[in-house]
Structure 1
Amino acid sequence: MTLSLNMFLSLDGVMQAPGSADEDMSGGFERGGWLVPHMTTDVSQTVTGWFAKGDSLLLGRGTYEMLQPFWELVTDPDDPVAYAFNHLPKYLVSSTVVSPTWHNTKVLAGDLLSAVAGLRGRRGEVQVHGSYRLARALHDAGLVDEYRLLVFPVVVGGGKRLFDMGAAPSGFRLIESETLDSGALHLRLQPIPFGTADHGNGRTGRNT
């Protein structure tokens, strides 16, 4: 199994509530929906490409409970994102949810790192989307194999960040970069030891 983080980030590293004003107002966050003006066909195609690589999903409770009410009502068989959320196996990291109602969900309770280690014997790719605390914990534990980041040309100024004070140091090797027509930058990165120089042969896409 490989594990990937698939994230929307602002230029200043914020990942909180990209899609709507009321998506996640925790901590008094009032700048939700910052991604919306930059949502283009290119962005949608990039995200669809992410989901096409996945064999299962690993989600934190907050993100899971935010996604379920919307996506389980999207029944279009030709919508690849809806298909992924509704049909791929979902692993929910939670100490409070006992009987999840979203189809094909298994709760991972107890020690997170042990639970993720148990998934590593499986084949394919498990993807994390959103899930702030979970993503940070996996990064800090060195369990992420690939980071797929869409970085949008906007500074939010505050909110939850993937990499914040106290994040585990890491270097990265660029696998691929592409500038989309919205101005967003799509990056694919693999972690390498902190302080290691690896210029690699990262493939650049159009408009770069």
Structure 2
Amino acid sequence: MRKLIADLFVSLDGFASGADEKAYFGYDGPDLSSWIQREISQPQVILMGRNTYVILAGYSATATDSASVRMRELPKLVFSNSLDEPLTWSNTKVIAGNLEQQIRLLKQQTGDPIRIFGSLQLVKGLMQLGLVDRLRLLVFPLILGDAGLEPIYAGFQRTALHLAETQTLDSRLILLEYEPENDITRD
């Protein structure tokens, strides 16, 4: 059975972005760059929602940096009931219909892990359905306050998580890896 891993970049106060914020909230560094390269180099199928597809395809489809080149090579799935194939970004297919049914079928197939980068509404829906196996939060040392946009946890239901792993990047970013409590066997 395939694992579904959701990666979210988040400010300390829970926002995915902020007004006039730079990429990575302005906290790019060698450890973060290495982590991104290592993660993108792994075998995987990328799953995203329509909005994330539009943003990433607009940039990564023609960019020449190594992460964008790798993204073009990887198989990508867009969950959308409004997009039609063919899509302009190479190796990208649309899946539509009932979210729970489609993702359960996808997870039951053999193959590489499924990864989600961003796609807040998709992650929220999959968390509520109990389909996320690992939630990875890369926490940036920044409080956005009133400038915060895209609150990560807005609309989530109560969800108990088990801390599975932590890592510090560039002596300032904290990667928190969680598994839903209902997937953890306790003694």
Normalising by the smaller structure, the TM-score range is 0.7 to 0.9
2:90 aligned to which of 103, 108, 114 = 103
Aligned to 1:154, the other structure's residue is in SS state: coil
SS of the counterpart of 1:185?
strand
Match of 2:150 in 1: 160
Which residue in the other structure is 1:191 paired with? 180
* Residues 8 and 151, structure 1, Cα contact 8 Å, conserved in 2: yes
Q: Residue 14 of structure 1 aligns with which residue?
A: 15
Q: Deviations over 1:23-62 (max 9, x none)?
A: xxxxxxx243273421101111122232233411001111
Unaligned runs of 5+ in 1: 18-29, 199-208
> 1:8-157 alignment to 2 at 5 Å?
8-16=9-17, 30-33=19-22, 35-75=24-64, 79=66, 81-99=67-85, 100-122=87-109, 123-157=111-145
Runs (4+) of structure 1 exceeding 3 A deviation are none
The structure that is strand-richer by fraction is: 2
Deviations 1:124-159 (Å, cap 9, x if unpaired)? Answer: 201001111111111111110111211000011232
More helix per residue? 2
* Alignment deviations for residues 66-93 of structure 1 (CA, whole Å, 9 cap, x no partner): 01121111346xx2x2243101111111
Aligned residues: 181
Contact residue 34 and residue 154 of structure 1 kept, 8 A:
no
- Tell which has more relative contact order, 1 or 2 (C-alpha 8 A, sep 6+): 2
Q: TM-score, normalised by structure 2?
A: 0.87
Q: What TM-score results when the alignment is normalised by the length of structure 1?
A: 0.78
Q: Secondary structure at the match of 2:127?
A: helix
* Percent of matched pairs sharing the same residue: 31
CA RMSD of aligned residues (A): 2.2
The residue number in structure 2 matching 1:24 is: none
For residue 16 of structure 1, report the CA deviation from its aligned partner.
3.0
CA distance in 1, matches of 2:42, 2:170: 23
Amino acid at match of 1:118: L
Where in structure 2 are there 5+ consecutive unaligned residues?
none
One-letter identity of the residue aligned with 1:13: G
SS of the residue 1:160 aligns to: strand
CA contact (8 A) 1:173 1:191 kept: yes
> Is the partner of 2:56 in helix, strand or coil?
helix
